[in-house]
């Protein structure tokens, strides 16, 4: 499918908007699932021959290396499965959540000696579904293991499962960023998506989070929902922007196989209006900019500073904190950009814990089993629950990083790319760069290469060109 989209001239509007969704889908809130993983997944059986056994033991920081600075934890439970969702999550039943909590604590113990997280992200699933007691078990374990104190620590919340007690507990332990899955502020569309929350709960939860001291909140929205009109979208956008959050993520609905929404589409219950989807994306970019957000990635927008009367840090201090996390002052990120996700797009190492979580550490990419029972069984035996692992050849990894970095408005600074990968973008991919510039999808500005506004729409097709076969 992707190969046929490589030529810009081959792209019609229909294909373009799908490219937006493919590269801007909710997977970006969590470790990115890379193309070769899909191949590995397809090839793997339950008793995979992929040699991952040694990765299941406690990792050790190699001599001269630094511990890993990024940590992702997947919480695989949702009260109800949304119509469009293909992520690994299931309704909690029996004692499975307590068993999961014990297993994830065990996995934290295993990676802790090699992890000093500067960014932490609890995604799902619905992390806010965990009870106070379950959260406390995890947070106390992190305290004991010296894993607290991240500069940015995000927890995803569903507006229906936010409580003042939970918000306070998270804040007390150092969680300082909440990502709230709002998706829409239209009751009918929320129902259409199978969401469990109401619009009223969004406003109430937002106030609860603010009252608990969260001054960095992301609002997740979806567009091109079946039945959504431009008027719906503008209303939701206006109301969401008026909330005053620091960050906005917005994704087009993706029709993933094995989801109810996909089945309904296939059955002809509704049609996809691709032109409207493009217009909704344009409205998103324009309205969020008018409200003071700066787009820094295909689907991500952030404020550059807090409102006049909020927060105690100056803009310079905040920016510096971000630079410290990424070790790079030239990225020119908005103040409230999600550092954790930026880390993925710039190729930083990150541990991934919990069922189905992916990680990339010192050249090795690995993924946990997407099966909570299997995950728990492995951890109860004292080993990490790795399903797959692979090492990429340096050029293949560089190609992937080129592709990921182009998702960001900033693109790649030539020297940064060389520092990260050891390859020169200009000499390694001259034809690809020239072609994208020729068709107006990309530009070379000073010492960096980046997609244009038009190119951001086709980012996946643009990025595909930079991938190299893995001959490792």
**Burial class of residue 308, CB neighbours in 10 A (0-12, 13-18, 19+):** exposed
Residues 353 and 386: their CA atoms lie apart, in Å, by 10
Q: With binding defined as CB under 6 A, does residue 357 bind ligand SF4?
A: no
Pick from 81, 99, 204, 383 the residue near ligand SF4 by CB under 6 A: 81
Q: Which two tokens stand for residue 178?
A: 């909440």
Q: With binding defined as CB under 6 A, does residue 184 bind ligand SF4?
A: no
Q: With binding defined as CB under 6 A, does residue 154 bind ligand SF4?
A: no
**Burial class of residue 292, CB neighbours in 10 A (0-12, 13-18, 19+):** middle
Q: Which is nearer to ligand SF4, 90 or 169 (CB)?
A: 90
CA distance to 78, 80, 130, per residue, from 92 (Å): 7, 9, 10
Which range in 46-54, 118-126, 250-258, 383-391 contacts ligand SF4 by CB under 6 A? 118-126
149: alpha, beta or left, given left = phi > 0 and alpha = psi -120 to 50?
left
Pick from 25, 117, 125, 405 the residue near ligand SF4 by CB under 6 A: 125
Q: With binding defined as CB under 6 A, does residue 82 bind ligand SF4?
A: yes
Pick from 21, 70, 89, 245 the residue near ligand SF4 by CB under 6 A: 89
Q: With binding defined as CB under 6 A, does residue 124 bind ligand SF4?
A: yes
Q: Which two tokens stand for residue 186?
A: 């239209």
Pick from 5, 78, 157, 221 the residue near ligand SF4 by CB under 6 A: 78
Contact code string over 273-302 relative to ligand SF4, x by CB under 6 A: ------------------------------
Which range in 79-87, 91-99, 164-172, 376-384 contacts ligand SF4 by CB under 6 A? 79-87
Pick from 5, 28, 73, 85 the residue near ligand SF4 by CB under 6 A: 85
Residues 170 and 178: their CA atoms lie apart, in Å, by 10
CB of 77 to ligand SF4, least distance (A): 8
Q: Which is nearer to ligand SF4, 25 or 343 (CB)?
A: 25
Token look-up 């993983």 returns: 37
Token look-up 């803009």 returns: 315
CB of 357 to ligand SF4, least distance (A): 13
Residues 195 and 30: their CA atoms lie apart, in Å, by 20
Instruction: Residue 7: count other Cβ atoms within 10 Å of its Cβ.
Output: 11
Which range in 28-36, 123-131, 208-216, 462-470 contacts ligand SF4 by CB under 6 A? 123-131
Strands 217-223 and 247-252, sheet pairing? parallel
Residues 345 and 339: their CA atoms lie apart, in Å, by 10
Q: Which two tokens stand for residue 457?
A: 């729409």
Which range in 37-45, 102-110, 124-132, 209-217 contacts ligand SF4 by CB under 6 A? 124-132
The answer to whether 48 and 371 have CB atoms below 8 angstroms apart is: no
The answer to whether 420 and 342 have CB atoms below 8 angstroms apart is: no
Pick from 37, 72, 87, 121 the residue near ligand SF4 by CB under 6 A: 87
Pick from 21, 70, 119, 126 the residue near ligand SF4 by CB under 6 A: 126
CB of 225 to ligand SF4, least distance (A): 13
* Phi then psi dihedrals of residue 352, to 5 deg: -125, 115
Alpha helix segments (H runs only) across 58-162: 96-111, 132-144
CB of 97 to ligand SF4, least distance (A): 14
- Please tell me the chain's helix, strand, coil percentages from 3-state DSSP, rounded to the nearest 5: 45, 20, 35
Q: Which is nearer to ligand SF4, 104 or 402 (CB)?
A: 104
CB of 373 to ligand SF4, least distance (A): 19
Binding site for ligand SF4 (CB under 6 A): 78, 81-82, 85, 87, 89, 124-126, 158, 181
């Amino acid at each position: 499918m992707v190969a046929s989209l490589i030529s810009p001239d081959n792209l019609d509007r229909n294909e373009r908007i799908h490219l937006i969704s493919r590269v801007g889908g909710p997977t970006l809130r969590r470790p990115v699932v890379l193309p070769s993983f899909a191949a590995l997944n397809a090839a793997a059986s339950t008793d995979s021959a992929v040699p991952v056994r040694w990765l299941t033991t406690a990792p050790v920081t190699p001599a001269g290396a630094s511990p890993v600075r990024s940590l992702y934890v997947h919480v695989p439970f949702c009260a109800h499965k949304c119509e469009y969702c293909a992520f690994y999550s299931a309704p909690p039943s029996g004692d499975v959540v307590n068993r999961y909590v014990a297993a994830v604590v065990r996995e934290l113990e295993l990676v802790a000696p090699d992890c000093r997280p500067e960014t932490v992200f609890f995604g799902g699933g619905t992390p806010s579904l965990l009870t106070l007691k379950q959260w406390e078990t995890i947070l106390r374990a992190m305290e004991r293991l010296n894993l607290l104190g991240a500069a940015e620590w995000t927890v995803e919340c569903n507006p229906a499962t936010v409580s003042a007690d939970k918000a306070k507990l998270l804040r007390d332990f150092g969680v300082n960023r909440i990502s709230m899955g709002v998706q829409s502020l239209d009751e009918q569309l929320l129902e259409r998506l199978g969401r469990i929350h109401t619009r009223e709960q969004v406003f109430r939860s937002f106030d609860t989070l603010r009252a608990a001291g969260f001054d960095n909140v992301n609002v997740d929205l979806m567009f091109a929902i079946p039945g959504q009109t431009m008027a719906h979208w503008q209303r939701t956008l206006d109301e969401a922007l008026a909330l005053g959050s620091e960050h906005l993520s917005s994704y087009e609905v993706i029709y993933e196989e094995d989801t109810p929404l996909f089945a309904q589409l296939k059955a002809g219950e509704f049609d996809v209006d691709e032109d409207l989807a493009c217009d909704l994306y344009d409205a998103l970019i324009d309205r969020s900019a008018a409200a003071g957000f700066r787009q820094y990635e295909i689907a991500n927008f952030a404020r550059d500073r807090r409102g006049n009367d909020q927060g105690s840090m100056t803009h310079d201090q905040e920016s510096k904190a971000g630079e410290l996390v990424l070790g790079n002052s030239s990225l020119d990120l908005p103040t409230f950009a999600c550092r954790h996700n930026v880390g993925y797009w710039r190729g930083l190492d990150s541990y991934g814990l919990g069922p189905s979580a992916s990680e990339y550490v010192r050249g090795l990419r690995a993924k946990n089993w997407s099966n909570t029972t299997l995950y728990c069984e492995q951890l109860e035996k004292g080993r990490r629950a790795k399903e797959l692992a692979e090492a990429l050849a340096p050029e293949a990894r560089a190609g992937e990083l080129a592709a990921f970095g182009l998702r960001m408005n900033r693109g790649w600074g030539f020297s940064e790319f060389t520092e990260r990968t050891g390859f020169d973008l200009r000499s390694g991919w001259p034809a690809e760069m020239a072609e994208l510039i020729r068709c107006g999808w990309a530009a070379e500005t000073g010492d960096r290469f980046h997609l244009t506004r038009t190119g951001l729409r086709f980012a996946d097709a643009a990025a595909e060109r930079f991938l190299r076969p893995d001959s490792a």
